[in-house]
Structure 1
Amino acid sequence: MNNQLKNRIEYIVVCISEFANRHKLSFRQAFNYLDFYKGIDFLDKCYEAEHQFSIEDAIDDLTEYCQRHGGLLA
């Protein structure tokens, strides 16, 4: 596995974990929510921009993105 892919995967895992912490969910619940409301796709597609922000800002963006796709977590 090349370093770019490894970094992207690690970043997505960290974001899922921090999303879970912020919204008081288990990792599995957070993953399922983000998968259903396209948050995982967002993290993958927007990695180049999002990984330059703080994790807190990235989780804000992720939460807002999921809300726009029907998610109810705020």
Structure 2
Amino acid sequence: MPSISAPLSNCKIYLYPGDHNPPHFHVRGPNSKALINIVTLEVMAGKVSKTDLAEVRTWAAKPENLALLVAEWRRLNERE
């Protein structure tokens, strides 16, 4: 399970190979276990604390971080 290096205080971001659409990432931490849509940054499933969600959204909304998430999703999940 590839982890994305993100300076988050209480959780980590993961992308899984062979995962289902729509493109998303996983957030895991002591108070959070959720799937977040890469495009909308909305919670698709699971639960995430308000603090973790705000931090994750702030990080993921930056253009360079969004580009990283999209590139990693494509690398791990695009099928021919």
TM-score (normalised: structure 1): 0.33
* Greater relative contact order structure (CA < 8 Å, 6+ sep): 1
Higher helix share: 1
